[in-house]
Structure 1
Amino acid sequence: MRVHFIVHEAFEAPGAYARWALRRQHTVTSSHLYDGDRLPPTADDIDLLVVMGGPQSPATTTAECPHFDAVAEIALIAACAAASKAVVGVCLGAQLLGEALGAPCLRSPEPEVGSFPVTLTEAGREHPLFDGFEKRLDSGHWHHDMPGLTTDATVLAASEGCPRQIVTYGRFLYGFQCHMEFDEGLVQRLIESAEGELAALADHGFVQPVEELRRNDHRAMNERLETFLDRLAAEYSAA
């Protein structure tokens, strides 16, 4: 499987997504936009596009962030969807996926930073790619916004702070507002990048203090993510 990562910032690395792709010996390519890499010109050489998070929003302009071209990313995501390629959007990536399909992102009811449970909806519990998952599982979070919903989108998981944590937009199209890819090193990089933000959010109910962020154990959610990705890859290959 040819997996391409779009990475907006060094501190928003693919984490468990990349480890899964390498362990399964998929062909891995990346666009590290913060380092000057270009986006793929077409969807032709991609089977699975993974669009990572970042501090930007779909409304961020190139004047505000020269290495982030939301219009170009949305066009690539739309091309992948139109070609029946698989797309997984994470946080900002989930919002861009919704935008590419005609659903503008929205502000989340609550900001979430840390490890909090997400609950599978009835549709999520019945979905074959989440078969056997716990109804409630801890997941990483670091966001203010959430993806929009198309008329045929289905919410597969929600949290107390955000009603759209995992969304499917089609057979191979998934948005993860939550960060199931987090690991200890990635969280530390996020902490270092966001000291002021964390201080400003300290009084919010779904924002953990730095010491707690560092103590969170992400291994179980990483394993669930790998199971989901294995099933997505198998379904895509079978098609």
Structure 2
Amino acid sequence: MNIHFIQHETYEAPGAYQNWAKSRNHKISFSKVYENDVLPESADSIDMLIVMGGPQSPNTTLEECPHFNAKAEIALIQKCISAGKAVVGVCLGSQLIGEALGANFDHSAEKEIGVFPITLTEDGMKDEKINHFGTTLNVGHWHNDMPGLTKESKILAFSEGCPIQIVSYSNLVYGFQCHIELTTEVVSLLIESETDLLTKSEKHLFVQNPEEILSSDFTEMNEKLFQFLDKLSSSYKS
């Protein structure tokens, strides 16, 4: 498979998504927009599009962030969905998928930074690509917003601080507000990019301090992500 990543910042790295692609010997390509890479003009060379997170929102303008063109990314997502490609969005990426399908993003009830459990919904337990997560799973979080919902979409998981953590938009299109791809290396980059995380951890119920986050074990959630991606890629091939 050809796996194409859209990466918005150095510290919003693909982590376990890229590790999975390498371990399965998939072809990997990038649009590192923070380096002013150009987005693919079509979906022809893409089998799976993975849109990573970032500090931006879908309504961030080019004036506010010259390297982030929300409209262009939304257009590529629409092309991939229309062409029957597999599409996965992470955090900002999940919100862009919703926007591409006509669903506006929203603000989350709580800021979440750290590792907290998500709980699968009834639809989540029925979803064959997700139900191996089990009833609850500790996953990474680093957000203020959440993706919008279409009439056809299903909420597969929620957390105590955010009612929309995983969304299935179709058989091949999934949005993850949570960060199941986190590794120690990626977390270290995120912590370096975060302004005064220690103070935020004292103010917000669902914000952990740097030591707590770095002491987390990301092995299980990474393994669950690998299984999801295996199932998604198998579904795409069929």
Is TM-score (shorter-chain normalized) higher than 0.5?
yes
Question: Which amino acid counterpart does residue 199 of structure 2 have in structure 1?
Answer: A
Which whole-Å CA distance do the structure 2 matches of 1:69 and 1:201 have between them? 31
1:21 corresponds in structure 2 to 21
Question: Which amino acid counterpart does residue 127 of structure 1 have in structure 2?
Answer: D
Which whole-Å CA distance do the structure 2 matches of 1:203 and 1:114 have between them? 14
Which whole-Å CA distance do the structure 2 matches of 1:217 and 1:14 have between them? 17
SS at match of 1:190: helix
Cα drift, residue 197 of structure 1: 5.5
Identity %: 55
Q: Are residues 1:38 and 2:25 paired?
A: no
Q: 1:32 to 1:2 in 2, by over 3 A?
A: same
Which whole-Å CA distance do the structure 2 matches of 1:176 and 1:151 have between them? 18
Which whole-Å CA distance do the structure 2 matches of 1:102 and 1:108 have between them? 19
1:158 corresponds in structure 2 to 158
Q: Are residues 1:88 and 2:88 paired?
A: yes
Question: Which amino acid counterpart does residue 178 of structure 1 have in structure 2?
Answer: C
Which whole-Å CA distance do the structure 1 matches of 2:106 and 2:146 have between them? 5
Contact 2:197 2:209 in 1 (8 A): no
Which whole-Å CA distance do the structure 2 matches of 1:209 and 1:133 have between them? 26
In the alignment, structure 2 segments of 5+ residues that lack a partner are: none
Q: 1:194 to 1:147 in 2, by over 3 A?
A: same
Structural RMSD (CA): 1.0
Which whole-Å CA distance do the structure 2 matches of 1:36 and 1:130 have between them? 34
Q: Are residues 1:107 and 2:138 paired?
A: no
Question: Which amino acid counterpart does residue 235 of structure 2 have in structure 1?
Answer: E
Which whole-Å CA distance do the structure 1 matches of 2:28 and 2:188 have between them? 25
SS at match of 2:20: helix
In the alignment, structure 1 segments of 5+ residues that lack a partner are: none
2:205 corresponds in structure 1 to 205
Q: Are residues 1:120 and 2:120 paired?
A: yes
Which whole-Å CA distance do the structure 1 matches of 2:132 and 2:91 have between them? 24
What whole-Å deviation, never above 9, does each CA across 1:23-74 have from its counterpart, x for those lacking one? Answer: 1011110011111211111111111000000000001011111100000000
Cα drift, residue 20 of structure 1: 0.2
What whole-Å deviation, never above 9, does each CA across 1:99-149 have from its counterpart, x for those lacking one? Answer: 000001000000100000000101111111123331000000000000000
What whole-Å deviation, never above 9, does each CA across 1:76-98 have from its counterpart, x for those lacking one? Answer: 00111111111000000000000
Which whole-Å CA distance do the structure 2 matches of 1:95 and 1:166 have between them? 11
Which whole-Å CA distance do the structure 2 matches of 1:121 and 1:131 have between them? 10
Q: Are residues 1:142 and 2:145 paired?
A: no
2:56 corresponds in structure 1 to 56
Number of aligned residue pairs: give it: 238
Cα drift, residue 210 of structure 1: 1.3
Question: Which amino acid counterpart does residue 83 of structure 2 have in structure 1?
Answer: A
SS at match of 1:195: coil
Cα drift, residue 214 of structure 1: 1.2
Question: Which amino acid counterpart does residue 216 of structure 1 have in structure 2?
Answer: S
1:225 corresponds in structure 2 to 225
SS at match of 1:19: helix
Which whole-Å CA distance do the structure 1 matches of 2:123 and 2:170 have between them? 13
Which whole-Å CA distance do the structure 2 matches of 1:170 and 1:22 have between them? 26
Question: Which amino acid counterpart does residue 45 of structure 2 have in structure 1?
Answer: D
Q: With structure 1 as the length reference, what TM-score do the two structures score?
A: 0.97
Regions of 4+ moved over 6 Å:
none
Cα drift, residue 213 of structure 1: 1.2
